[in-house]
Amino acid sequence: MIRVAVLDDYQGRAAELADWGSLGPETEVAFFGRTIPADELADALADFQVVVLMRERTALPRSVLERLTSLRLVVTTGERNAALDVEYLRERGIPVSGTRVPPRRAGVSPAVEVAWALIFAAAKRVVVEDRAIRAGAWQLGFPALLAGATLGLAGLGRLGSQMVGPARAFGMTVIAWSPHLSPERAAAAGAERVSQGELLRRSDVLSIHLVLSASTRGLIGEQELAAMKPGAVLINTSRGPIVDEPALVRAVSSGIIGGAGLDVYDREPLPAGHPLRSADGIVLLPHLGYVSEDNFRVMYGQVVENIAAFGEGTPIRLIS
């Protein structure tokens, strides 16, 4: 009997989104709806030969993997996973399979849709005014105008570039910065290449689309937030650690910047009692950037294919 653990099935839908039964009667699949606490992971997964990760929701560092003596295969959705010690698994001879992003439909990616949802929610005071109406109040403040405003993009790759078209449609000026962005590449995407300092100073909305790395961790901290416009809005749909969360809470609560919208956090799920949960002026979403039924059907379908291929002795979609 091969036992498969499917982690972090938040919506409780994984069982119906792929043909797990095609793996045969000798494969038993268990679905975990909530994140397993880090100190319980090794015990909870001790009897499983296959562990399926939903992106980086659960971290599997070496300290946990060393205790999983029954482990034979790890499958992660996505093409990389910074929360998984792939090098250690390679040392043990345990393959890691990923999933490929499905071809994009016309329009922008789900992550870009979420970024714009957060821009509107923060700039147009959607959450604040919704709560006010329910409490009996009416029109507590002025929403920002996007027409004529400047959208700053920290990162102009696949997702950052997709932010440009909608911004132009709303009449926004678009500027961009990343460590290796050239003026020519920025112009080709429809943006003006500026320095990091100018990006901070000029942006009415600053949206982050950078990969988390040693150089981008903590990129936006107290000093950078202080350099922004008092009414500016910060949007992060990339990775939580790029922004210093305590500094952001202080900046918004003290009026250093106008507000923020976040889809990603240092720790996910966001712990109970976290200061962000009670911070006024910050709109929170539970990491929805890649979440859609269509995407999950593709990802879980490929997960089943990966497990079946491993069972046949020919692992596929290997992550190096």
pLDDT digits (tens, 9 = 90+) for 35-57: 999 999 999 999 999 999 999 99
CATH architecture of 110-284: 3-Layer(aba) Sandwich (3.40)
Residue 5: per-residue pLDDT: 98
pLDDT digits 0-9 by tens, 119-140: 999 999 999 999 999 999 999 9
CATH architecture of 2-98+292-311: 3-Layer(aba) Sandwich (3.40)
% of residues, the chain, pLDDT over 90: 96
Residue 104: band (very low, low, confident or very high) from pLDDT cuts 50, 70, 90? low
pTM, to two decimals: 0.90
The mean pLDDT of 248-268, rounded to a whole number, is 97
Kindly name the residue from 224, 245, 268, 305 that is annotated as catalytic.
268
Residue 103: per-residue pLDDT: 65
Active site residue 287: yes
Kindly name the residue from 125, 193, 209, 287 that is annotated as catalytic.
287
DSSP secondary structure, the chain, as one string: -EEEEE---TTS-GGGSS-GGGG-TTEEEEE--SPPPGGGHHHHTTT-SEEEE-TTSS-B-HHHHTT-TT--EEEESSS--TTB-HHHHHHHT--EE--PPPPPPSS--HHHHHHHHHHHHHHTTHHHHHHHHHTT----SPPPP-TT-EEEEE--SHHHHHTHHHHHHTT-EEEEE-TT--HHHHHHHT-EE--HHHHHHH-SEEEE-----TTTTT-B-HHHHHTS-TT-EEEE-S-GGGB-HHHHHHHHHTTSSSEEEES--SSSSPPTT-GGGG-TTEEE--S-TT--HHHHHHHHHHHHHHHHHHHTT---SB--
Residue 9: per-residue pLDDT: 97
Least confident of 27-36, 95-104, 164-173, 311-320: 95-104
Kindly name the residue from 56, 239, 245, 317 that is annotated as catalytic.
239
Residue 180: per-residue pLDDT: 93
Q: Where in the chain is the domain with CATH 3.40.50.720?
A: 2-98+292-311, 110-284
pLDDT at 219 over 80: yes
Active site residue 268: yes
